[in-house]
Structure 1
Amino acid sequence: MTVWRAPGRINLVGEHTDYNDGFVLPFALEVGCTAVVDTAPAGSDGWTVRSAQQPEPVVVRRSGLSSAPDVPEWSRYVLGALWLLTDRGVDVPALDIVVDSDVPTGAGLSSSAALVCSVARALDDHLDLGLDDDALFALTRDVENDAVGAPTGGMDQLVSLRGEAGHALFCDMRSHETRSVPLDLAAHGLTVLVTDTRAPHKHSDGEYGARRRGCEEAARLLGVPALRDVAAGDLDDALRRLDDDELRRYVRHVVTEDERVLSVVRLLDEGRLPEIGPALTASHVSMRDDFRITVPEVDTAVDALHEAGALGARMTGGGFGGCVIGLLPDESVGAAGDAVRAAFADAGFGEPSLFTAAPAPGARAVSPGTRGN
C-alpha cells in the first residue's frame, strides 16, 4: 500500500497567463487530496477506483486511453493516469485506488490538480517508475488535457507537485522552470483571507476554452508564438494592429498580468510583501473589465474586502465564480469576514464560506491510515 497527498492551490497573481506561455505565482494549500494505491487481490484483472466523496466505485478493465470507457468525470482524473501510462508502455497491474479530498470543488482551488497529482505520485512510488519532476508534471497535465478534456495550462499541477511551505512558486509557463519566492505572511502581520463565493465554475465549460482560443488567435494575428512574447512596451502597438475589440481586451489583460506577476515577485524577493496589494487589485480590475471572467458574487466580495481594509483583493482561479483572496492586516480579518457576509446578504446571495490560507508543502508521502493533514 502506498499513500501520497497533494494540495490544492491559491493563485496569488497571474490569471490566464499560464496557457499563454507567461508567468504565474501560486502557492500550495493545506487542503488537498490523499490517494491510496494498493495491488488488487489475486485473480483480479481490472482497476477499481473509489472516492470518499462519491457513493459508487468505478471498475474498469485494464486498457489504454484509446479504448477508455464512459466513466464519471471525477474518475477520469484517476483512471487517466493509468490509461496514459499504459499507452506509454508501462505494464500497469490490477490496482485498487482510493482517493479522499477536502478541497472544495468548484471553488477555483484546483481540487482536480490535487486529485491527479496525489494519484500520479502514489502510482510512481507504488510501481517504482522512477519518474522525475518533469515527467510527473507532464503526466498530470496530460491527464487533465487529454483524458479529461480540460484545457488548463499546467500551473495547478506545478504548484501541487512542487509547492514549498512559507513560499509562493514563481512559474515560467514556457520553460516550466520554477522558483520558490518567500511569502512570510506572519512576519509582516498579514493574512490571506479566502472567500469561497460558492458561485461554482468549471474549467471545461465553453467560456474558459473560448478565451484560450481567443488568445491563441490574437497571438497568430500578431505573429508571435504566444502572448507572452508581446512586450509591455509594445502593447499599444499590438492593440492597434488588432481589429477585434474582444481580442484587444484579451491581449491587454495577458500582457499586463504578466507584468504584475513580475512586479510582485520583485517585491517579495525584496521583503516588501505589504506593497503587493495594488498589483492584486489591478489584476482583479483587469479580469473584470478586460478578460470579463468575474461574476457579481466575486466583485461584491472584492469590494467588501477593500472597504474593510484589505491591502489588495482579487478573484483567484479560472473565473466565472469560485474564490476571492484578500491581503489583510491580521487585526482586520474578523471585521473583513463580517463585511463580506453582510455584503452578500444585502445582495441576496447565498452565504459565503471564509477561511485563511498560508503556503503549504507540495505533494508528499504520508503514513497509511491518515489523511495527511
Structure 2
Amino acid sequence: MSLGTAHAKIILMGEHSVVYGYPAIAIPFVMGNIETKITDKQSELWMDSILYHGPLKKAPSFLDNLTFLIEELLKTMNYSRRDLLFTITSNIPPQRGLGSSAAVAVSVVRAVFKYFDQPLSDQQLLDWVEVAEKIAHGNPSGLDGRITTSKKPLYYIKNQPFVPFDISGEAYLVIADSGLQGQTKQAVQHLGQLIQENQGLYQPTLAQLGHAAQGSFEALNQQDFKQLGLLMNEAHRLLKICQVSHPKLDELVDTARQAGALGAKMTGGGLGGCIIALAKDYPQALEIEKALSTLAETTWITALNND
C-alpha cells in the first residue's frame, strides 16, 4: 500500500487574465485535502472515487485526464500487470475552481512513485501533473500544479518563474461553494472567442484585471487588506464583463458584501464553482459565513496569512 497526498488551492486574483500574460496570485488551501491510496487487487486495474467506481478502462470520459495519467505512469514504471486499486478521497467537491483536478493528479503521481519506491523530484512531479492538466483544461497556466504542491502563496506571470512570498497580518477568507460545477475549460474557450470577436472591449478588460492583481500583490505586501478588498470587488466586476461569472456566484458575492466583507469575488474558472470573501478578523468571517450558509452548498474559513 502507498499513499499520496495534496492540498487544494485558491486563486486570490488573476484568474483568466493570467492566460494572457498578466499576474495571478494563488494561495494554498490546506483545509482541502486529497489522498490517493494504491493497494493490491486480485483482478483488473480499478478506480474508487466519489465520481466513479469500477475498472479503469471503463471510466467515463470526464476522467480521461486521470486514466491517461495512471496508464502513462505505469508504463514508465514498466508495470504490465493489471491488479492495482486506486482509491481517491477528497473533502472538496470536484470542478469548483479549487484545483481539485491538479491536486488529484499530484496525489496520484506521489502515490505511484511511492508504491514503486522510486525517487520523485519536484520537477518530475510538476511535469506529470501538467500531462493530466492539459487534458483537463486544454491550455493550463501551470499555476494549479505548482500551488497544490507549494506551502507558500505564489505570484505568477505566464512563462516567468513562480515567486513564492509570505502573507502576514490578520485577515481571513470565507470560501462559499455555489453547488454548481465550474467549467474552466469552457470558460477559457468562451472568453477566447469573445476576445477574437471584440478585442476593443476585452483586451482593456483583461489589462484592468491584470492591474488589479498587481495592485493586490502590493496591498498584501503592505498588509493593506482594505485596498485588497476593493480590488477584489473590482476584479469580480471585470470578470462579469468577461462573462465567466454566474448569477449564483453574483448572489453569493452580493450577500458577502452586505454581511460586511471587505471584498468578494468569484474564484477559479467560473461559470459555477466558488466565491471568496475577505474578512478583517475571525468574528467578521463568522458573520459572513453565517450569511452565506443559507445560499451556499458548503463554506470554509481559512486564514489569509501563512505565518
TM-score range, shorter chain: 0.7 to 0.9
Map of 1:153 onto structure 2: 141
Indicate how the Cα distance of structure 1 residues 55 and 81 shifts in structure 2: closer, same or farther if over 3 A, else same.
closer
Cα RMSD (Å) of the superposition? 2.8
TM-score when normalising by structure 2: 0.86
| Counterpart selection for 2:181 from 200, 221, 231 | 200
Q: CA deviation at 1:359?
A: 6.0
Indicate how the Cα distance of structure 1 residues 104 and 82 shifts in structure 2: closer, same or farther if over 3 A, else same.
closer
Aligned length: 302
Q: CA deviation at 1:213?
A: 5.2
Secondary structure, counterpart of 2:92 in structure 1: coil
Separation in 2, partners of 1:259, 1:125: 42
Map of 1:241 onto structure 2: none
Separation in 1, partners of 2:156, 2:99: 16
If you compute each CA radius of gyration, which structure gives the higher value, 1 or 2?
Answer: 1
Indicate how the Cα distance of structure 1 residues 150 and 136 shifts in structure 2: closer, same or farther if over 3 A, else same.
same
Deviations 1:130-180 (A, max 9, x none): 44323322221221223x464433221111122x1xx422123313x2222
**Alignment of 1:333 onto 2:285:** yes
Verify the 8 A CA contact 1:150 1:203 in the aligned structure 2: no
Indicate how the Cα distance of structure 1 residues 171 and 100 shifts in structure 2: closer, same or farther if over 3 A, else same.
same
Verify the 8 A CA contact 2:73 2:112 in the aligned structure 1: no
| Counterpart selection for 2:216 from 254, 260, 264 | 264
**Alignment of 1:3 onto 2:7:** no
Secondary structure, counterpart of 2:165 in structure 1: strand
Aligned counterparts, 1:266-345, within 5 A: 266-289=218-241, 291-330=242-281, 331-340=283-292, 344=295
Map of 1:22 onto structure 2: 22
TM-score when normalising by structure 1: 0.72
Indicate how the Cα distance of structure 1 residues 144 and 73 shifts in structure 2: closer, same or farther if over 3 A, else same.
farther
Separation in 2, partners of 1:260, 1:84: 40
Separation in 2, partners of 1:137, 1:248: 36
| Counterpart selection for 2:298 from 353, 359, 362 | 353
Indicate how the Cα distance of structure 1 residues 253 and 141 shifts in structure 2: closer, same or farther if over 3 A, else same.
farther
Identity of aligned residues (%): 20
Separation in 2, partners of 1:277, 1:309: 11
Q: CA deviation at 1:183?
A: 2.4
**Alignment of 1:171 onto 2:168:** no
Verify the 8 A CA contact 2:10 2:98 in the aligned structure 1: yes
Map of 2:66 onto structure 1: 78
The unaligned stretches of length 5 or more in structure 1 are 61-69, 218-243, 345-350, 362-373
Q: CA deviation at 1:27?
A: 1.3
Deviations 1:268-322 (A, max 9, x none): 2334344311111111011012x11111111122122222221111110111111
Verify the 8 A CA contact 1:15 1:318 in the aligned structure 2: yes
Aligned counterparts, 1:208-219, within 5 A: 208-212=188-192, 217=196
Separation in 1, partners of 2:9, 2:137: 20
Separation in 1, partners of 2:119, 2:17: 31
